[in-house]
């Protein structure tokens, strides 16, 4: 039997380079979770772990973390936060195992996507955490509604985060292709007429896009949760993301509806 050749740490990092463009500006991922993930991947491969097994383990870890965050003791909250950080690490591992071992397959991608349930339920769980631990709130009785207000804010934040992702998906499925064709034709017309194209963004716009993108990703949510837990400001954390996702959903609807109208007008010419 041929001896299994395990990838070196350098080869694991090299295999991940295809995602460098996507993760280049995700600062916590790039400088904290990915470096730890590479080493954890090196260990996991030698322990015989497959990418699919890593995905299942990550889901179990996330579920355990959620259960702890809904617990009554502060020790359980600490354990829950730690488990969510571990879940994010495992979410790095499964893809790196597949890339470095060259075992990427549709089932693995499917499993990895399925674990997105943890993002869908996260804010609701934080709302339950705030409801059960008013001592972690700056405003435990905001608007004279008691801690139950934060239960509602958590649930609404989950809904808004899911809805914003839904709006993006609907645009990708129904409008992305005609919009891209229209944008290409518009740019070609601008080139012919000598007009300046609109593809280059200012430094401030690009910086804003990077900040917004970093605020959306899981690792930022978890690190900010750690900070909010330590300084006992879970309510501020929830309020910030409630308004963030509300404004994000409104912004996406405005932009995509405007693009849809432009596509409609171009088809009616």
Per residue in 230-243, pLDDT (tens digit) is: 999 999 999 999 99
Q: For residue 35, how many other CB atoms are within 10 A of its CB?
A: 13
More confident residue, 202 or 112: 112
Average pLDDT over residues 143-154: 91
- Checking if the pLDDT of 138 tops 80, the result is yes
Question: 172-202, pLDDT tens digit by residue?
Answer: 999 999 999 998 877 766 555 554 444 556 7
Predicted local distance difference test score (pLDDT) of residue 16? 78
- Checking if the pLDDT of 49 tops 70, the result is yes
Token pair, residue 137, equals 């709130």
Q: Where are the domains of the chain?
A: 1-115, 123-128+136-269
pTM for this structure? 0.88
Lowest mean per-residue pLDDT among 24-28, 55-59, 81-85: 24-28
The mean pLDDT value of the chain amounts to 90
Instruction: Please state, in angstroms and rounded to a whole number, the distance separating the CA atoms of residues 173 and 87.
Output: 30
Q: How confident is the model at residue 166 (pLDDT cuts 50, 70, 90)?
A: very high
The CA-based dihedral angle spanning residues 127, 132, 134, 139, taken in that order and rounded to the nearest 10 degrees: 30
Rg (CA), the chain: 22
Predicted local distance difference test score (pLDDT) of residue 241? 98
- Checking if the pLDDT of 265 tops 50, the result is yes
Predicted local distance difference test score (pLDDT) of residue 247? 97
- The CA distances from residue 100 to 53, 54, 96, 106, 147, in Å, are 15, 14, 6, 16, 47
């Amino acid at each position: 039997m041929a001896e299994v050749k395990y990838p070196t740490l350098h080869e694991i990092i090299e295999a991940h380079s295809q995602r460098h463009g996507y993760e280049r500006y995700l600062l916590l991922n790039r400088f904290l979770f990915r470096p730890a993930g590479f080493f954890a991947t090196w260990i996991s491969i030698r322990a015989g772990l497959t990418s699919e097994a890593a995905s299942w383990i990550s889901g179990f870890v996330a579920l355990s973390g959620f259960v702890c965050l809904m617990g009554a003791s502060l020790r359980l909250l600490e354990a829950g936060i730690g488990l969510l950080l571990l879940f994010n690490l495992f979410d790095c591992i499964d893809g790196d195992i597949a890339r470095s071992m060259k075992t990427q397959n549709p089932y693995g991608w499917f499993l990895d996507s399925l674990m997105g349930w943890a993002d869908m339920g996260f804010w609701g769980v934080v709302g339950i955490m705030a409801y059960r631990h008013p001592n972690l709130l700056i405003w435990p009785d905001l608007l004279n509604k008691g801690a139950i207000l934060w239960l509602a804010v958590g649930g609404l934040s989950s809904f808004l985060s899911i809805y914003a992702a839904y709006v993006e998906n609907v645009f990708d499925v129904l409008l992305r292709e005609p919009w891209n064709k229209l944008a290409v034709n518009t740019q070609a017309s601008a080139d012919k007429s000598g007009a300046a194209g609109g593809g280059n963004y200012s430094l401030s716009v690009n910086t804003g896009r990077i900040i917004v993108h970093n605020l959306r990703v899981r690792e930022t949510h978890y690190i900010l949760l750690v900070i909010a837990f330590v300084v006992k400001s879970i309510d501020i954390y929830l309020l910030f993301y409630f308004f963030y996702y509300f404004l994000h959903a409104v912004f996406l609807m405005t932009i995509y509806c405007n693009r849809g109208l432009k596509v409609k007008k171009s088809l009616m010419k």
